[in-house]
Amino acid sequence: EPEVTQTPSHQVTQMGQEVILRCVPISNHLYFYWYRQILGQKVEFLVSFYNNEISEKSEIFDDQFSVERPDGSNFTLKIRSTKLEDSAMYFCASSWQNTEAFFGQGTRLTVV
Amino acid sequence: RKEVEQDPGPFNVPEGATVAFNCTYSNSASQSFFWYRQDCRKEPKLLMSVYSSGNEDGRFTAQLNRASQYISLLIRDSKLSDSATYLCVVMDFNKFYFGSGTKLNVKP
């Protein structure tokens, strides 16, 4: 069964550093998303991406964040100048026609 | 204002019980509706989409009432493996809004 894969599964970084979280969406999907979930809280939308551009973004997704689809398979989330409060589980998801989304297993980001 | 609100839970039920979860959403123009389940520290996994006509998948039945902006999930004959957090998800254009989830504990 096709699945969304994310790497790394766990990333520890020092405050102020930049991190890149990587995702390989399901191959024939067209819509890509990043979400985050702070421990004990709900899943929060960050950004959606379609046709090589951002289609929607939340208030959380400020200038500290950026997304890129550098080639035909990868979809990345870059977080610049990380803060302690960026510690969370980051989920990538993809969907075929902007309907149900399928999630990767997540990257647990710990900022120390 | 929360876009999606769910029963607070947790629901503690014995094996074999029937349990129902409710969810309301705030945007009447919302387009699509889903139930996901999430196990502890895992990713959300799609359980089922929710249609206005209602839909059933084995022991699971989902209903949507657009007029009341209300979504429900019914689980019959609960199994130990049903223990998880159930997430109500509403899609508006290119955004998925998640409820906070309702935790279900099925006890032997």
Band (pLDDT 50/70/90 cuts) for residue A73 is confident
Interface contact flag, B42 A105, Cβ < 8 Å: yes
Q: pLDDT tens-digit profile of B57-97?
A: 999 999 999 999 999 999 999 999 999 999 999 998 778 89
Helix (H) or strand (E) holding A99: none
pLDDT score at B1: 63
Interface contact flag, A45 B96, Cβ < 8 Å: yes
Instruction: Determine how β-strand A102-103 pairs with β-strand A107-111.
Output: unpaired
Chain A interface residues (partner B, CB cutoff 8 A): 31, 33, 35, 41-45, 48, 50, 55-56, 58, 89, 91, 93, 98-106
Closest partner residue to A48 (CB to CB) among B32, B43, B94 is B94
Query: Which residues, including other chains, have CB under 8 Å from residue A63's CB and lie 6 or more apart?
Result: none
Helix (H) or strand (E) holding B37: strand B32-38
Q: pLDDT tens-digit profile of B15-67?
A: 999 999 999 999 998 989 999 999 998 999 999 999 888 899 999 999 999 99
Quick one: B28 exposed, middle or buried, by C-beta within 10 A (0-12, 13-18, 19+)?
Answer: exposed
Rounded to the nearest angstrom, the minimum Cα separation between B18 and chain A is 25
Q: pLDDT tens-digit profile of A77-101?
A: 999 999 999 999 999 999 988 789 9
